[in-house]
Each structure stands twice: as structure tokens, then as C-alpha cells.
Structure 1
Amino acid sequence: FKEQKQAMSENNKQQALVIEGSTVLPNRVGMAPGMLVEQDGKRIALMPGPPKEMNPMAEEELLPLLMQENGTIFSEQLKFAGIGESRVETELLDLIDNQSNPTIEPLAGSHEVKIRVTASGPDEATCKSLIKPIRTEILNRIGDYYFGSDETTIEQATLEKVPGTFAIYDGVTSGEVYSKLKEDDKVDKLRGMLVDDVIFVEQDLDIKTRLKSGAEQVRKLYQTDIGVALLHEEDEVYLGVRTEDDFKIEAFTMTQKRNLIKHRTPNYVYIRLINMFS
């Protein structure tokens, strides 16, 4: 508050209160500190509720503190897109039912699924060796939907896999598939986009012809290595990818209810681009 030349309110002061005798856990991204309290041989961790504050505090402050006394706890979070949480649990049910060390915990995210695999042991190397065979088995079953681990985002993974500059012709997400990628585009791989319109592509053509035309339009307009086009007919979404000497089409079903076709489609497109160029 002093650095920003603002007055601290009484409510802000209350956020700084800690229990006497507790171990204070610093909050690097927010206001309220965490605490580790010992009482009657039990330990209680108190942390802020927002995930963007709680998660880094748990990983960077709480877990290292606990590991100092109880060996090492190490986790890898595998991330998947284009597959639902219930499907993931069905595919991995026997592994989940028979888990011990490491443990397997499916977690629902925003249009993606995460699987946290956690092992305990005397050191990090031992934990990683325990995780490795479980990780391999998980990817053997649902690896087509895997895009990265831990801090990797699907946008970062997509930009890394696409082998050159590209542009997008979008008739599905009103630019969302472009804007999400562009936020992580540090080297200007993604050069531009057009929203589907009759001035660019004739609407009375069949879907595959329109798709190819859209991909070629943006590739030529933005002078990129690759042109990507998205169109849909009812609940069927079509992805077309135009390279120098090839044109590929993939399709998937996406409900239009509650505008899900707009918000879910980007991750379904990204995972297909990742697989296409892997």
C-alpha cells in the first residue's frame, strides 16, 4: 500500500492477522498469508481460498515445509483436452481403484481435464521413478488427448507444435480460437485471422470447398506457411489445415447449447493441431 501510495483499510489489516505461534506461509500473489498450526499432535494448514493464491502457496510454501520432516512428496499434473472427465475416469478406473503410491486424482478444469499423479518417497528421484510407469500407462490409454504437464498451457503447446507461421479463418468461435493463442504468441507465429463472411468465401458451396477456400484465403492474405479454417454445420465442426503441399480435414461434434460451440471448440481445435503436427 505504501508503494502504491494508498491507505490501508481496517479490512486489509484483518487480512494480515495470523494465529499466535503459527508458522506463517507467505502469499506471493495476494494479500492474506497462510498459516500452519500445530495442536494436540495434529497440523492444520490455513490458506486463502482463491486458487490463484492457494495453489502456489501450497506448492511453494506448504509442501516444502512438510517435506522437510516427512521425506519428499512430488506431483506431476498431466493435462488433457478434447475428452471429458467422465471418459477419463472410465478409461483409468482400474488404475484409480488400485492406487496406493503414487495416487491418481482426476481434476476438472475449464474445458480440459487434469490428472495429478503424486508419489511420496525419501527424495524427488525416487518419487519420479514411482510416477513414471503410471504416467506411461495413462498416456498409453488417453495419450491422444495429452498436451503437456504442470504449468504448460494448451495454447503454449499448440504454438510450439505448429511448424511455421499460420493464420486462421474462423466461422465458429468469433475470434476466440485466435485471441487465446495470440496471448501466448511470443514469436509472432500467428499472423492474423478473418471471420467467416460471404465477402471472403461463397456460402452456397459445400462445406469442404468452403473450408479449403477459407484456409487458402488467410494463408495468402497473411503470407503464412499454414492456413487454418474453422466452419460448422449444425453440431458438426470442421477443421481444415492448408500447408504448402497438402490439405487436411478433421471433424468433431460440438453441441450449440449454451454457446458451448464457441467456448469449447478452441481446445478441441488445439489438441487436433498438436496431434496433426506431432
Structure 2
Amino acid sequence: MRQYKAEIVAVGTELLLGQIANTNAQWLSQQLAMYGINVYNHAVVGDNLQRVEEAFRLAQNRSDMIIVTGGLGPTEDDLTREAFQLISKMELVEDKQSMEKIELFFKNQNRTMTPNNRKQARVFKGCTVLKNNAGMAPGMKVELEGKTWFFLPGVPREMKQIAGEKIFPSIKELTGSNQIIKSLVLKFIGIGESTLEHKLKDLIQAQTNPTIAPLAQEDGVVIRLTAKEDSEADLDSLLNNTKTEILDRVGNYYFGEDEQVIEQVIVQLLANQNKKVAAAESLTGGMFTEKIVSVDGASAVCPGGIVCYDAKIKRDVLGVSAETIGSKGTVSEECALEMAENVRRLFGSHVGIAFTGVAGPTETEGKPVGEVFISISDGSGYQKVERFLFAGNRDSIRKRACVKGLEMIFNYLK
């Protein structure tokens, strides 16, 4: 069974300038993995004939399967065909069906077709033309010196249509393999990457199938499990057995998997417990509430919140006592506790959470930049307040405070 080394080459200066993200390569890699194809390289090259040719020569030398996206349009800077012609010496011809489709499009739009649109119908002689049902330029499959090339438009909907209908169905036949690859992402909050890795050190060192890869993210840590097998059932068994081993050690920090985010889990927990949460936010400025209300069904568990940035708002609207503000300050354990309790009462919720602190750039009330108090209060008399000292700039301190608040609410609801 032949093991293919795949490469994805994206053509377009707009990708290099950061004007658009290279989501095509991400999607193609994910799909190819499901068919047992390992992607070894991603390349991005601008609209320059010499550089595109160089990228293609490198791909031809090091990869078995090359998927090219972009550069098939009608303009002078669409150079994918020309660059591949330089390395392959293959003749370009006009595909009759594609040309008829392009002409019909302009006729139906009651527009005059400019001559450069004929370029979109040009294909390599002897190639397999991949019909584009979502746009005009067709895709192509070309064999060159034992290597398989696929050329796809850069427009995502067109690329996905051609890949889904024409490329992926032929891959099993091409590789002669039934093996598939599947990943499972486990998500954790409240534990650092180094600590998580230490607790799983022996499992990670002994990994074979599935592989175990810890990765730090802005809102927590994830572990990506990746397994290879010949059937979905065997894959699921491998992944679930390894997941069980991991959660036996660090399950207290686990909150979900794959596309789940912590706010979705919190909203579901609140709904299951028939509880509502309201937030009083000073330095986070509504960030926590925005996270919660971004989830479908949040209206049932979040009646609202209040941004109380100024001390007068904390006192006159939220009801924090003048004595607390005067003697302890707005950046204090006492103020955070009153904020959480008062916002709970004000909105008639079961749980209140409050954020107060110093995001910077300068200290406040003699408190250092990064000092943050987060408090939780509920109707049963439960109260909890924690002090943190976050490093970073203003934006990162605010974001870290929000993530820590989500963690505290999650742990409370657990």
C-alpha cells in the first residue's frame, strides 16, 4: 500500500498580505486526514510567475500528491496554469464544455464577455477536467512523472464543491488504502500546559496510536488525539480508551471536546440546573456577558448584566456601599463581593459574578496593573472571591480575567 505525501500550495498575494486567511488549506488538510492522506507541507506563494514556478518545482520533488488552490481566474495575475506549464511542458487547450458554460453565464447576465474570460476555460491537454458547478473555472487532475496534481479555484465554495464531488471519492482508489485518520480534541480549563503534560508524561512518551499532543490556547489547554485505523469503529475504540485514561488523571479540568467552547457548557449547566447568572463587570466591560449571550438559548439563563466602570456607577446604580468604596477601594475583595451579591439581586438571578481590577496602563488606588478580584455569590449564602495578578498588556489582562471568570462559574456549577 502506497503512503502518499501530500502538499497544499495556495496561490495569491492576498494570502501573503494577510488580507484573507488560508482557510482552504485548513479545510483540505482536515478532509485529507479522513482519507488517510498525510499532509506534509503547506505553501503560500504570491502572484509572481517565477516564484509560483519555484514553489511548483519544490512540490514536484518532495510530494506525491499536490493540491493547488487559486490562480485559475481570468486576469493577468492568475498564473497557476502558466507556472505549471513551465515545469511540465504540457500544452494548454480550451475545454469546449467549460467555454460554453462561461459564454452562457454572460449571456444570461445580459453582459458582454471580455476576451480574457476565455483563459478560465484553458486546461492541460490530456488532463482530467473537474467540472465546477459553483463557478466558471474548472479544476484539473494531472499526472506528472508519477506525481498527482489537482488544480482548484481559490474561491472556497468552488474549491469545496470540486474537491467533494471529484477529488475525495477517487482517493481510496488512488491510494489503495482503507485506512482513515480521525482526531478527537479534549478541552481543559484551569490547568496549565506544562502541568497537564507532566501529569500525562508517561502516556505521551509511550504514544503510538493514537498520538497525544497537548496544545495551549487562549481560553485553556487542549489535547489532540489522532488515531489511524481501517474502520470508524476501531478508531472510536482507540480514541475513547485513551480519552478514559487521560480523564482518569485530569478529568477535574475537562469541560468538553472538539468544537465545544466553555461558554456553551456553562449555558447548558445553568439550563440543566434551572439557574440564571448575571454579571457586574468593571475592567472586563461586558466581555463575560457577551460570551454567555453568544450561545444559543442564553436568554433563558442570563437576564442581563451591568458594566460599572466608574466608582459612582458601582455606588449609585449597583449599590456598592460608599463605606466599602471609601475604606477598601473599588479594587478590593470587599467591593467584588458586594458587586456580585448586588447584581444577583438587581437582576433576580440565582448567581452573580463580579469583576473588578486594574487593566492598566497605570495603577489605580495604589493597586498594581494586573491585580484583579473576581467574586461569585448565590442565593443560598455561598460567596467566593479570588485575587489574581495577571501579566500582560491591557487587552490580555481583560481577556485573562474573563477566562478565569468562566472557569470559576464552571467549577461552581459542577
Quick check: 2:128–2:141 contact (8 Å CA) kept in 1? no
Percent identity, aligned pairs only, is: 33
The CA deviation at 1:114 is 2.1
2:91 corresponds to 1:91: no
Distance 2:383 2:202 in 1: 36
**TM-aligned CA deviation for residue 152 of structure 1:** 0.9
Matched ranges for 1:165-176 at <5 A: 165-176=276-287
Q: What are the within-5 Å matches in structure 2 for residues 37-76 of structure 1?
A: 69-76=177-184
1:217: Cα distance to partner?
1.5
1:47-68 per-position Cα deviation (integer Å, ceiling 9, x unaligned): 999xxx7xxx7xx958887678
Q: What is the distance in 1 between the residues matched to 2:114 and 2:404?
A: 45
Which string of whole-angstrom CA distances, capped at 9 and with x for unpartnered residues, describes residues 100-139 of structure 1?
1111123343333222111122221211111123212222
Q: Do structure 1's residue 251 and structure 2's residue 390 form an aligned pair? A: no
The Cα shift of 1:161 comes to: 1.7
In structure 2, what is the Cα distance between the partners aligned to 1:147 and 1:34?
42
Q: Which shifted more, 264-273 or 192-201?
A: 192-201
Q: Secondary structure at the match of 1:218?
A: helix
- Where do residues 1-278 of structure 1 align in structure 2 (5 Å cutoff)? 20-21=127-128, 69-162=177-270, 163=273, 164-188=275-299, 189-196=301-308, 197-198=310-311, 199=315, 200=318, 201-202=320-321, 203-204=325-326, 206=328, 207-232=332-357, 234=368, 235-251=370-386, 253-259=388-394, 260-278=396-414
Relative to structure 1, the CA distance from residue 127 to residue 16 in structure 2 (aligned partners, 3 Å threshold; closer, same or farther) is: farther
Q: Is the 8 A contact 1:25 1:35 kept in 2?
A: no
Q: Which amino acid aligns with 2:295?
A: D
The answer to whether the Cα contact below 8 Å between 1:18 and 1:24 also exists between their aligned partners in 2 is no
Residue 277 of structure 1 and its aligned partner are, at CA, apart by 1.0
- 1:63 and 1:73 in contact (8 A); partners too: no
Contact 2:141 2:148 in 1 (8 A): yes
Any conservation in 1 of the 2:267–2:298 contact (CA below 8 Å)?
no
Counterpart of 2:239 in 1: which secondary structure? helix
* RMSD value, Cα: 4.3
Aligned residues of 2:285 and 2:307 also touching (Cα < 8 A): yes
C-alpha distance in 1, partners of 2:291/2:118? 37
User: Cα 1:191–1:93, aligned 2, differ >3 Å: closer, same or farther?
Assistant: same
Partners of 2:399 and 2:208 in 1: how far apart? 37
The SS at the match of 1:70 is: coil
SS of alignment partner, residue 272 of structure 1: helix
How far has the Cα of 1:81 moved from its partner? 2.8
TM-score between the two structures when normalised by the length of structure 2: 0.52
Q: Which secondary structure state, in structure 2, belongs to the residue aligned with residue 190 of structure 1?
A: coil
Unmatched tracts of structure 2, length 5 or more: 1-104, 358-366
Q: Residues 213 and 277 of structure 1: is their aligned pair in 2 closer, same or farther, counting only changes over 3 Å?
A: same
Task: Give the structure with higher Rg (CA).
Answer: 2
The residue matched to 1:204 in structure 2 has which SS?
Answer: helix
Q: CA deviation at 1:250?
A: 4.5
- Which whole-Å deviations, capped at 9, do the CAs of 1:5-27 have from their partners, x for residues lacking one? 9x9999x9999999854879999
CA contact (8 A) 1:237 1:252 kept: yes
Q: Compared with structure 1, are the counterparts of its residues 208 and 108 closer, same or farther at alpha carbon in structure 2 (3 Å cutoff)?
A: closer
| CA drift at 1:80 | 2.1
Q: Which amino acid aligns with 2:306?
A: L
How far the C-alpha of 1:176 sits from its partner, in A, is 1.0
Report if aligned partners of 2:128, 2:140 keep a CA contact under 8 Å in 1.
no
- Give the number of the structure with larger relative contact order, counting CA–CA contacts within 8 Å between residues 6 or more apart: 1
TM-score (norm 1): 0.74
Normalized per residue, the structure richer in helix is 2
- Cα distance in 1 for partners of 2:385, 2:142 equals 54
Aligned-pair CA distance for 1:150? 0.9
Residue ranges of structure 1 left out of the alignment (5+ in a row): none
Q: Cα distance, 1:78 vs. partner?
A: 0.9
